[in-house]
Amino acid sequence: MMDIWTVLGLALLPALGNFAGGLLAEFTATPKNRLNNALHGAAGIVIAVVAVEIMPEALKKTSSLVIALGFGLGGLAYLLIQGGVRKLQGRFGKQTESNLSMWMVYVAVSVDLFSDGLLVGTGSTISLSMAVVLALGQVLADGPEGYATVANMKANGIPRLKRTLLSATLVVPALGAAAFSFYLLRDQSQTLQMGMLTFTAAILTVAAVEDMLSEAHESADDTRYSVLAFTGGFVLFTLVSAGLGS
């Protein structure tokens, strides 16, 4: 069994990946076609995390009924999160455009990193190798997401200091979720662990399709490079997973 400090160290990686992507956007130009490609690549990686790493492990260790139930509940959880964000948008809809954009971006990315931490924390209760591969997969996906987040803030006129501070504080939801899932699941049955893993996988899958790809399509029209970025992201994670022997 892994100790909590190892779990927190692994959960820190996705937040650092997000922050690194944000720094890249801070100090380089952010053309819309580059944003489109980055988001397609991130979506491909997330789909690969679920298809290559999570589902095969779940199918080996629990029943299809548990997987279906966990995934279905994860989809419902996504809808609840989405509804909460929309209520916030309605409540604060009369604020200035830049302030609204800043806080909605922050909420969305916080939820995503919370899911990342939950995924790593849950994986750590199953095996070290799974936790490592899941953490690395989310690093690869969160880099483009961090880039997209800061690029969006720049476009809405958010000052650099405020952008940097917001990016740095995103470590909190990742670490909090990892600690929560580690302590909650470490002594639980394999069925509950796998159910929680597929629950989190559902949130990530829907977010990749509904959020990442939607934002990519809004930023710029797709090209052949968009397709290459998506498939390249999937291939990259698959090779990382195979290289680590997971």
Tokens standing for residue 154: 């720049």
pTM over 0.95: no
The pLDDT of residue 65 is: 96
Q: Which of 31, 23, 61 is nearest to 168 (CA)?
A: 23
Strands (E), the chain: none
- Position 73 confidence tier, pLDDT thresholds 50, 70, 90: very high
Q: Which of 231, 216, 200, 210 is nearest to 53 (CA)?
A: 200
Tokens standing for residue 33: 């076609």
- Count the Cβ atoms, other than its own, within 10 Å of residue 159: 12
Cβ partners under 8 Å of residue 241, min gap 6: 48, 52, 53, 133, 137
Give the chain's mean pLDDT.
83
| Residues 168, 72: Cα–Cα separation, whole Å | 33
By residue range, what is the domain housing residue 203?
4-25+32-243
What would the pLDDT profile of 165-196 be if each residue is shown by its tens digit?
Answer: 888 888 898 899 899 888 888 888 889 888 98
Q: Which residue has the tokens 């809808």?
A: 79
What would the pLDDT profile of 87-130 be if each residue is shown by its tens digit?
Answer: 766 666 555 544 544 555 566 677 778 878 888 888 888 888 88
Going from the C-alpha of 78 to that of each of 73, 81, 137, 218, 244, the distances in angstroms are 9, 5, 20, 21, 30
Give the helix ranges, DSSP H, for 126-223: 128-155, 160-169, 171-185, 190-207, 213-219
What angle do the packed helices 128-155 and 32-48 form, to 10 degrees?
A: 160
Work out the average pLDDT over 33-43. 86
Higher-confidence residue of 10 and 123: namely 10
Say how many domains are in the chain: 1
Task: Provide the percentage of residues in the chain whose pLDDT is more than 70.
Answer: 88
